[in-house]
């Protein structure tokens, strides 16, 4: 039983990280109708920028203040994400208004490649570390309930809490602020939004920035856990089924979807894997997404897809 | 009394056109999209060979009515009788098999293809060669292609678009696109042709051409035509009977003269500023 | 002055429907085929065959298949690599499990197996499109990656996980030198290119394009979306599957599942975008481009670097490759969705008027 709960909690933690990346997908999709395959590349670039800027400034400061170096790192990485958002709008999206979803999807694959190439050219392509002072030591919980208790990483806890705060913040942002509402209007209807005077270009830059910041948070958490390296881009592929499951237009969907897939992946690997030779994590999420697609294409929480004639 | 009269055999109309049996009978059709009632309890019929107009202000439900007839939308209530038989819920391609063709309000041509290819797709249902024959492009497939190409050339001549045969449709001006749209529908050799605002956005000359084509289709091929049009002059000139919709309800039905003098119709049009 | 249609009048619709409506085009293609079949074997050296020509041919075939689906039928796929894998592993199993199985038949059966799975994974396309379909095809990719790695039966329980075919032989002809391998691939590619051309100008091709351009209108004129889409998936996967068998049997000789990873799927999609969606010729351009660019950069960038006095590392080259690919994809999608093929036909238009541009 303790093992089961441990596995499940482990799954929840991974799921939280999936949720974070999925959140980036949903934000951009809601506001620009673009499914952003480059979200993984954005996580990589953000994490690389953060790792390197803090490393450089740490060296420049003589290793005195890790905190200051990290602040500089975060600010620097934020600036990089802003430049990315601006460039994407200026050089790509602006030229593809009212194009089909498939074209936009393919264009973000191109963006992903460019970001991966540029990011590594500027910041290097080795493995770097991010140290924001997350506690690494495990804690044992529920000792009273089970023999031996349940082993959990403190780091995971903090990460999950951070993610939860971010999600809450974004929900408030979208529901309560004027900008947030404008973003939603853009999502619902580009032309209508334009005709009531919402500048499309600006909202796109903002939303890509927000997605960039989400990527930065995901990058920091993931990077401090496993190091910053190229394989970070694959988290986009891992998080893709999450949004299908949760629904592309739903922020809560991204969260719940991430948790379901995180837990499902771990449990199936542990309990089902041995029978089929293991490694089923890779496709488990996708097969779940496939089933959802066949029976409920809009996902668990998404808005129904209507094709008008 | 009324019913028997409606279903009895041929009568002649003011235009002198032959008017046959009821081919399509729509009974108590209601269609909703969530809370929006697009059509409410609408009944009318269409007779063979006639030109039947559907008119009404914007958003009245005219296009939705055509979409119901050719199976794009499925009404929640009501029956559709086709040649005296109740029609089951059907998909658009089945309606096409029954001989129902249509053109679209917002041109829906295949924009990556040439004019010829667009019209050729209209022959699709009549082409029977299988994939393997097509892959090898020998014998039967080639012969079939040529037979249908000849038919398509007839349509091209009929619509006077020889000069743009090979042009990609995306590059054509609006008026010509409408004509190609009509050509594609004609290529199906339909029994019923549904035209959704075929003259919208055209200048006077183009409208005259289009009217001529519609009348020629009716006269030469005997095709039954259902026409949505906003230009009252055109409607009154070329249609045999007119249905008037407003806010998804039927408010008038009869010959152009009857409709013109119908008080509800006058009110609807005055009310919505037409 | 010589490339024009003047004086070539079509006297029948049959003549008008030929593949190449301008005689010079026809001669150009026949000339190209003759060159590829007769002159290239004499001119190219072993490196050329192994590193450039054979991969180019096989990837062209795969890109052709992807183009039928993406370019002609408008259904996106990110799982082409999986169908290559299915083609390769199925052909392999037909070879090792059935005594006396002819090589070409095994490859075609590999294609048929891929087609069957293509139909299966194409089913979601009846309900969803765009991104959603991309996810469904990715599911195929990851399932195949896993299955060929973990299920021993597919690899005939090979202990290393990699499989290979002992000897390539067709009707007594042993295909072992690079030249022979090249010619073997070339024959496949030519035959399939003609099939693709025929299909795309026939009724089925028009159905695919109709679904791509305006699916509601297509349905209204009587095209069954189910048949059109699934047939596109089947034919496309067949092409891709045969290409996979060629890739494994002829190009690699022995291979592991990683040879058909998701990167391969992306690569094939990029070939189609860069070469030209909805163009047979474009598939070849795209494949050539993607095969040659890395080789070119490997030679050229260090040279360029030494001119300005910096050393370019291999990592630097691979980053440059990413940037260039990415930018080109963006460029073509924005500026010229018909890719290199369109640039080619614009060049031909110019040639038609040359030397008198007005
Ligand atoms: N697919 C759909 N989903 C939701 N509502 C729809 C859909 N199609 C039509 N409607 C609604 O049904 C009503 C009737 O629309 P319809 O297009 O049939 O009108 P119309 O008479 O053709 O108008 P117009 O003259 O502007 O073409 C409108 O309120 C429209 O918004
Ligand atoms: Mg309408």
What's the pLDDT score for residue C1?
39
Residues B90 and B131 placed together within one structural domain of the fold: no
pLDDT band at B1; cut points 50, 70, 90? very low
Q: Which ligand is nearest to the CA of B35?
A: 1
Residues B89 and B214 placed together within one structural domain of the fold: yes
Of C137, C132, C91, C128, residue with least CA distance to C233:
C137
Strand C173-174 relative to strand C169-170, pairing: antiparallel
What's the pLDDT score for residue C267?
92
Which among B93, B120, B144 has CB closest to C206? Answer: B120
Q: Do B136 and C195 touch (CB under 8 A)?
A: yes
Q: Which domains does chain C have, with CATH numbers?
A: 44-353 (1.10.3470)
Which residues on chain A are in Cβ contact (under 8 Å) with B67?
Answer: 309
Contacts of C60 (CB under 8 A, 6+ apart): C189, C283, C284, C287, C288
Distance from the CA of B166 to the center of ligand 2, in angstroms?
A: 30
> Cα B57 to chain center, whole Å?
19
Total structural domains within chain B: 2
Q: Which ligand 1 atom is at minimum distance from the Cα of B197?
A: 27
Q: Which of residues 213-242 of A touch C (CB under 8 A)?
A: 237, 240-241
Task: Report, as an integer, the average pLDDT of B209-226.
Answer: 92
Q: Distances in Å between the alpha carbon of A51 and those of A123, B192, C119?
A: 9, 69, 46
What's the pLDDT score for residue C330?
93
Boundary residue ending a domain (B133, B153, B188): B188
**C contact test, residue of B137, B140, B184, B195 with most C CBs within 10 A:** B137
What's the pLDDT score for residue A203?
79
Residues B195 and B92 placed together within one structural domain of the fold: yes
Q: Is A304 in the pocket of ligand 1 (CB under 6 A)?
A: no
Q: Do C323 and A293 touch (CB under 8 A)?
A: no
Residues B197 and B73 placed together within one structural domain of the fold: yes
One-character DSSP codes across A167-217: HHHHHHHHHHSHHHHHHHHHHH-HHHHHHTT--HHHHHHHHHHHHHHHHHH
Query: For atom 31 of ligand 1, which residue has the closest CA?
Result: B59
pLDDT tens digits along B227-252:
999 888 888 889 999 999 999 999 98
Where does B123-221 show beta strands of DSSP type E?
192-196
What's the pLDDT score for residue B10?
47
Which residues on chain B are in Cβ contact (under 8 Å) with C209?
Answer: 110, 112-113, 117
Which among A113, A276, A297 has CB closest to C322? Answer: A113
Mean pLDDT of chain A: 81
Of A200, A178, A174, residue with least CA distance to A189:
A200
Boundary residue ending a domain (B168, B188, B208): B188
Distance from the CA of C94 to the center of ligand 1, in angstroms?
A: 56
ipTM: 0.88
Q: Is B36 in the pocket of ligand 1 (CB under 6 A)?
A: yes
Residues B55 and B3 placed together within one structural domain of the fold: yes
Residues B94 and B206 placed together within one structural domain of the fold: yes
Residues B208 and B79 placed together within one structural domain of the fold: yes
Residue B165 clears pLDDT 50, i.e. is over it: yes
Q: Is A308 in the pocket of ligand 1 (CB under 6 A)?
A: yes
Q: Which two tokens stand for residue A91?
A: 């050089």
What's the pLDDT score for residue B139?
79
Cα three-residue angle B38-C221-B19, rounded to 5 degrees: 75
Strand B249-254 relative to strand B100-102, pairing: unpaired
Contacts of B100 (CB under 8 A, 6+ apart): B69, B70, B190, B191, B192, B194
Residues B159 and B211 placed together within one structural domain of the fold: no
Q: Do the beta carbons of residue C26 and residue C249 sit within 8 Å?
A: no
Domain that holds residue B7: 1-99+190-274
Q: Is B224 in the pocket of ligand 1 (CB under 6 A)?
A: no
pLDDT tens, N- to C-terminus, chain A (309 residues): 677 888 888 888 888 888 888 888 888 887 777 888 899 999 999 999 999 988 888 888 777 777 888 888 899 999 999 999 999 988 998 888 777 777 888 899 999 999 999 999 999 888 888 877 767 677 776 666 666 666 677 777 777 788 778 878 887 887 788 777 777 666 666 666 666 666 777 778 888 898 899 899 888 888 887 788 888 888 888 888 888 888 887 888 888 898 899 898 888 888 887 777 777 877 888 888 888 888 887 788 777 655 544
What's the pLDDT score for residue C2?
47
Q: Which ligand is nearest to the CA of B103?
A: 2
Share of chain C above pLDDT 70, in %: 91
A177 φ, ψ (degrees, to nearest 5)? -90, 155
pLDDT band at B17; cut points 50, 70, 90? low
Task: Report, as an integer, the average pLDDT of B122-148.
Answer: 85
Which residues on chain C are in Cβ contact (under 8 Å) with B125?
Answer: 221-222
Q: Do the beta carbons of residue C139 and residue A283 sit within 8 Å?
A: yes
pLDDT tens, N- to C-terminus, chain C (358 residues): 344 555 455 556 655 655 555 566 778 888 888 888 787 777 878 787 888 899 999 999 999 999 999 999 999 899 999 999 999 999 999 988 888 888 899 999 999 999 999 999 898 888 777 778 888 899 999 999 888 888 878 887 777 778 888 777 777 777 778 888 899 999 999 999 999 999 998 999 999 999 999 989 999 999 999 999 999 999 999 999 999 999 999 998 888 888 899 989 999 999 999 999 999 999 999 999 999 988 888 888 888 888 887 777 888 888 998 999 899 999 998 988 888 888 888 887 777 666 665 5
Residues B211 and B95 placed together within one structural domain of the fold: yes
Q: Which helix (H) or strand (E) holds A122?
A: helix A101-123
Q: Which ligand is nearest to the CA of C216?
A: 1
Residues B194 and B89 placed together within one structural domain of the fold: yes
Residue of B nearest to C278 (CA): B112
Task: Check residues C6 and B143 and name the one with the higher pLDDT.
Answer: B143
CA distance linking residue B47 with residue B18, whole number of Å? 10
Q: Which of residues 136-175 of B touch C (CB under 8 A)?
A: 136-137, 141-142, 144-146, 149-150, 153
What's the pLDDT score for residue B6?
42
Boundary residue ending a domain (B165, B188, B211): B188
Task: Report, as an integer, the average pLDDT of B170-191.
Answer: 92
CA distance linking residue B179 with residue A159, whole number of Å? 62
What's the pLDDT score for residue B2?
40
Residue of C nearest to A33 (CA): C131
Q: Looking at the complex, does the CB of residue C11 fall below 8 Å from at least one CB of chain B?
A: no
Distance from the CA of C15 to the center of ligand 1, in angstroms?
A: 46
Q: Is B64 in the pocket of ligand 1 (CB under 6 A)?
A: yes
Residues B198 and B77 placed together within one structural domain of the fold: yes
- 3-class state of residue C352 by DSSP: helix
Measured in angstroms, the CA of B40 and the nearest CA of chain C are apart by 24
Domain residue spans of chain A: 2-230
pLDDT band at B274; cut points 50, 70, 90? very low
Q: Which of residues 18-77 of B touch A (CB under 8 A)?
A: 63, 67, 72
**Residues of B224-262 as b/e, b for ≥16 C-beta within 10 angstroms?**
bbbbbbeebebbbebbbbbbbbbbbbbbbbeebeebeeb
What's the pLDDT score for residue A100?
76
Task: Check residues B36 and C60 and name the one with the higher pLDDT.
Answer: C60
Distance from the CA of B39 to the center of ligand 1, in angstroms?
A: 9
What's the pLDDT score for residue A48?
93
Residue of C nearest to B115 (CA): C206
Half-sphere exposure of residue A109, counting CA atoms within 13 Å on the CB side?
27
Residues B201 and B73 placed together within one structural domain of the fold: yes
What's the pLDDT score for residue C190?
94
Query: For atom 18 of ligand 1, which residue has the closest CA?
Result: B61
């Amino acid at each position: 039983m303790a093992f089961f709960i441990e596995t499940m909690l482990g799954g929840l933690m991974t799921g939280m990280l999936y949720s974070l990346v999925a959140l980036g997908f949903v934000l951009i999709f809601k506001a620009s109708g673009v499914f952003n395959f480059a979200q993984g590349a954005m996580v990589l670039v953000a994490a690389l920028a953060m790792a390197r800027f803090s490393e450089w400034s740490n060296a420049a400061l003589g290793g005195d203040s890790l905190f200051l170096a990290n602040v500089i790192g975060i600010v620097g990485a934020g600036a990089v994400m802003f430049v990315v958002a601006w460039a994407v709008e200026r050089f790509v999206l602006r030229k593809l208004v009212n194009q089909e979803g498939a074209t936009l999807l393919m264009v973000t694959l191109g963006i992903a490649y460019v970001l991966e190439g540029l990011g590594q050219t500027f910041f290097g392509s080795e493995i770097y570390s991010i140290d924001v002072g997350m506690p690494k030591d495990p804690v044992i919980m529920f000792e009273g309930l089970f023999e031996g208790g349940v082993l959990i990483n403190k780091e995971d806890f903090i990460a999950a809490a951070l993610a939860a705060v971010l999600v809450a913040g974004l929900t408030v942002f979208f529901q309560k602020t004027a900008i947030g509402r404008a973003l939603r209007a853009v999502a619902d209807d580009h032309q209508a939004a334009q005709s009531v005077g919402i500048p499309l270009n600006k909202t796109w830059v903002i939303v890509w920035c927000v997605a960039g910041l989400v990527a930065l948070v995901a990058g920091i958490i993931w990077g401090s856990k496993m190091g910053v390296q190229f394989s970070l881009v694959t988290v986009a592929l891992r998080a893709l089924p999450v949004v299908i499951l949760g629904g592309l237009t739903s922020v809560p969907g991204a969260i719940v979807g991430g948790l379901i897939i995180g837990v499902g992946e771990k449990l199936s690997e542990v309990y089902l894997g041995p029978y089929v030779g293991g490694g089923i994590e890779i496709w488990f999420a996708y097969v779940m997404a496939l089933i959802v697609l066949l029976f409920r294409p809009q996902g668990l929480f998404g808005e129904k897809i209507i094709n008008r004639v | 009394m009324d019913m028997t009269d409606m279903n009895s055999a041929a009568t002649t109309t003011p235009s002198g056109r032959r008017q046959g049996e009821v081919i399509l009978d729509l009974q108590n059709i209601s269609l909703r999209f969530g809370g929006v009632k697009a059509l409410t309890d609408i009944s009318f019929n269409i007779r063979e060979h006639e030109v039947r107009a559907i008119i009404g202000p914007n958003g009245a439900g005219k296009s939705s009515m055509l979409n119901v007839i050719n199976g794009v939308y499925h009404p929640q209530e009501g029956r559709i009788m086709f040649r005296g038989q109740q029609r089951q819920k059907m998909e658009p391609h089945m309606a096409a098999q029954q001989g129902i063709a249509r053109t679209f309000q917002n041109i829906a041509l295949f924009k990556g293809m040439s004019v010829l290819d667009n019209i050729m797709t209209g022959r699709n249902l009549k082409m029977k060669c299988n994939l393997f024959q097509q892959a090898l492009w020998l014998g039967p497939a080639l012969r079939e292609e040529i037979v249908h190409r000849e038919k398509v050339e007839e349509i091209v001549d009929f619509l006077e678009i020889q000069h743009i045969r090979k042009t990609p449709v995306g590059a054509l001006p609006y008026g010509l696109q409408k004509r190609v749209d009509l050509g594609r529908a004609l290529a199906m050799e339909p029994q019923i042709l549904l035209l959704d605002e075929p003259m919208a956005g055209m200048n006077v000359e183009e409208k005259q051409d289009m009217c001529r084509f519609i009348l020629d289709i009716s006269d030469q091929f005997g095709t039954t035509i259902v026409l949505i049009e906003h230009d009252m002059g055109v409607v009154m000139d070329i249609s045999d009977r007119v249905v008037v919709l407003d806010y998804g309800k039927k408010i008038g039905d009869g010959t152009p003269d009857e409709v013109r003098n119908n008080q509800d119709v006058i009110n609807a049009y005055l009310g919505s500023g037409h | 002055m010589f490339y024009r249609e003047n004086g070539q009048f079509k006297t029948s619709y049959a003549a008008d429907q030929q593949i190449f409506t301008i005689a010079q085009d026809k001669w150009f293609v026949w000339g190209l085929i003759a060159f590829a079949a007769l002159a290239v074997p004499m001119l190219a050296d072993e490196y050329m065959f192994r590193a450039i020509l054979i991969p180019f041919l096989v990837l062209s075939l795969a890109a052709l298949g992807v183009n039928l689906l993406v370019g002609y039928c408008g259904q996106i796929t990110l799982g082409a690599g999986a169908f290559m894998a299915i083609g390769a592993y199925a052909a392999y199993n037909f070879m090792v499990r059935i005594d006396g199985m002819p090589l070409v038949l095994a490859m075609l059966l590999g294609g048929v197996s891929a087609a069957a799975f293509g139909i299966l994974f194409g089913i979601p396309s009846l309900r969803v499109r765009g991104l959603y379909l991309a996810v469904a095809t990715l599911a195929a990719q990851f399932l195949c990656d896993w299955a060929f790695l973990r299920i021993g039966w597919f690899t005939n329980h090979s202990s290393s996980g990699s499989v290979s075919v002992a000897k390539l032989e067709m009707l007594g002809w042993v295909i072992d030198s690079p030249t022979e391998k090249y010619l073997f691939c070339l024959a496949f590619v030519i035959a399939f290119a003609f099939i693709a051309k025929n299909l795309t100008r026939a009724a089925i091709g028009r159905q695919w394009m109709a679904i791509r351009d305006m699916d509601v209108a297509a349905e209204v004129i009587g095209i069954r979306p189910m048949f059109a889409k699934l047939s596109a998936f089947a034919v496309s996967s067949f092409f891709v599957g045969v290409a996979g068998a060629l890739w494994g049997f002829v190009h690699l000789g022995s291979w592991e599942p990683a040879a058909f990873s998701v990167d391969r799927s992306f690569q094939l999609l990029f070939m189609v975008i860069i070469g030209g969606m909805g163009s047979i010729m474009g598939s070849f351009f795209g494949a050539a481009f993607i095969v040659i660019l890395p080789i070119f950069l490997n030679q050229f960038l260090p040279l360029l670097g030494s001119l300005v006095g910096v050393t370019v590392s291999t990592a630097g080259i691979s980053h440059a490759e990413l940037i260039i690919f990415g930018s080109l994809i963006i460029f073509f999608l924005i500026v010229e969705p018909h890719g290199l093929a369109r640039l080619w036909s614009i060049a031909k238009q110019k040639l038609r008027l040359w030397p008198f541009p007005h």
